[in-house]
Copies of this chain bind each other. A is one copy, B any other.
Amino acid sequence: MNEYLGKEEALNPAGPELAARLPDGVLREVAPRHLDEPRGRYQGQAGLLAAPRTVEEVAAIVRACAEARVGIVPRGGGTGLVGGQVMPVGPAPLILSLERMAAIRQVYPAENVLIAEAGASLQSVREAAVGAGRMFPLSLASQGSAQIGGVLATNAGGVNALRWGTARALCLGIEAVLPDGSIMRDLKRLRKDNTGYDLRDLLIGAEGTLGIITAASLRLVPPPVGTGVALMVVPDPQAALSLLALAGAQLGDSVSAFELISGQGLRFLSETMPELRQSFAAPPDWMVLIEIGLPAGLSPDLALERLFSDAAEAGLVLDGLIAQSGQQAAEFWRLREEIPEGNRRVGSISSHDISLPLSEVPGFIAEAGGMLAAIGDMRINCFGHLGDGNLHYNVFPAPGRTRAEYEGLRADIQRLVHQLAVSRGGSFSAEHGIGRLKVADLARWADPARLAAMRAVKAALDPLGIMNPGAVLG
C-alpha cells in the first residue's frame, strides 16, 4: 500500500554532480537500515547518503541540494511509524543522516537543562540526565534507537506525556538548518523568551519538511523522590476515567503514567509470549497501569493504597496490585511494553494512533466496536496512553483467519476509525505524526483554513520543496 502523494516532479535525482559539491568526507555508503521503516510499508530510495559532523556541514549540504534542486530526507533513528523517514517514489533524494552528530554537548544540572545533538539517542540523553542527578522524562519503547532530532521532528509522546508533556514541552531551544541553508542558532536555556514568532515549535512536529533540527536544549526535571507503580483492574473504560479523575484529585500531576491495557492485549501476550509472567491469573477485560512520582515525605505505597481503597469503595476498581519492589514494577511495565510486540506477532489488519477528548473515550470504544462488528468478524486491541486520551486502536483477524482475508476491508476500517475519532473531536494522529502514511487523512480531515496556512508556511520557508518531499503535505 502506498498512499504517498508525491509532487516532486520538479526535483532532480541525487547523483555524482551533487556529490562533487558536498563537503569532504560527508558521503557514506547507503546501508539497508537507511532505507527501511519499522512497519515495512515503504521502501526508501537513495541517490546519496550524507552524514555530516557539524551544523556547518549540514548547512553546506542543504545549500548544495537547494542549488541542485535535490530532495533531502533527514534521517534519525528511523523508528517512526508513518513513513516520514523514507522517500519511496520520485527522484532519488539525498538522505541526510544525523548519526555522526550524537554528542551530548553540555549538561547544566543547576539549570535543569541539557544540550544534545540531533543524532544522540533518546536513551543516551536520558542516561546523561541521570548522570547529572536529573531526569529527561520523555520515554519511548524505541528509545535505544530513536534519536533526539527525530523525537523532536515528530513531537513524540510516550508514556510520561501525561505529566511532563510531549517532546515539544520538553524543548527550550533548537539549532536548525533552514531550507535555504541558513543556520538558526537558538539553543536558549530559558523558561521564558517572548521574542517573536515561535519557530521552534513550528519546526518541532514538522517532520523535517521545514528544516533540519541539528541540536536542542532540553528541559530536565529533578527525579521524583519516591515512585510507585500499580495495576488496577477496572470494570470498563468509564471507570478507568473516573479512576484517573480520582487520582488527579488526590495526587495532582504526581501521576506520571496512566496506561490502559485490554484483555485482548493480555490474551495476545499469553498466545505469543507464554513465558511472560502475567500479573492476574485470568486476564481481566480492562486494567490500568498507574505510575506516580512523589515529593519527599509521602510514601508511594500509602498513596496508591489510599487511591485503591477509595476507588474500590466507589466501585471503580475490582482488583489491584501495588508493586512491592523495583523488579515487580518493571514486571508490570513489561506487560504494558510488550503489547506492541504481541500485536506484531499476531499481525494486525490495521493500526490506529488516535486521540480523543477524555469524556469521548468510552463512547468511542463502544461505537467503534459496534461498527467494526457490523462489517466483519475481527478482534480489537485497544490500549495506550489513556491519561492523554491517546489510544492505540488496533484491529486483528478473527481467530483462525489471516490478514489476507481482510485486505479488502482495511481501507474501510481505517476510514471508519479515523472518521469516528474526528467526529468526536479527536485526532487521527495523536503521537505518530503524518509522515507519508497519513497525507491523505490530513488533506481530508484538517481544518481547511489551517491546511491552507500550513501550505503557505511551507511555500514560504521551502519554496523549492526540497525538504522531505512528499511528507506531511504531500
Contact = CB atoms under 8 A, between A and B. Distances in A.
A446 interface: yes
Contacts of A454: 196-197, 199
Interface residues of A, number: 100
A249 interface: yes
Copies per complex?
Answer: 2
A127 interface: no
Given A429-B193, A461-B457, A110 B452 contact: no
Contact of A460 (B183, B204, B428, B456): B456
Contact of A356 (B190, B356, B426): B190
A290 to B, nearest CB: 13
A387 B473 CA distance: 40
Nearest to A302: B297
A77 B207 CA distance: 37
Interface of A: 108, 110-113, 154-155, 157, 161-162, 165-166, 168-169, 178, 182-186, 188-199, 201-202, 204-206, 210, 221-222, 224-225, 241, 245, 248-254, 293-298, 302-303, 306, 355-359, 385, 387-390, 425-434, 438, 442, 445-454, 456-461, 472-473
Given A190-B425, A190-B426, A196-B446, 19 more contacts: A111-B389, A112-B358, A157-B194, A168-B198, A182-B449, A184-B450, A186-B447, A190-B355, A190-B357, A190-B427, A192-B430, A196-B451, A197-B457, A201-B201, A221-B252, A225-B249, A251-B296, A252-B293, A297-B303
Q: Which 10 A-B pairs have the closest CB atoms?
A: A460-B460, A182-B449, A201-B201, A189-B357, A191-B388, A192-B430, A184-B449, A193-B427, A222-B248, A456-B460
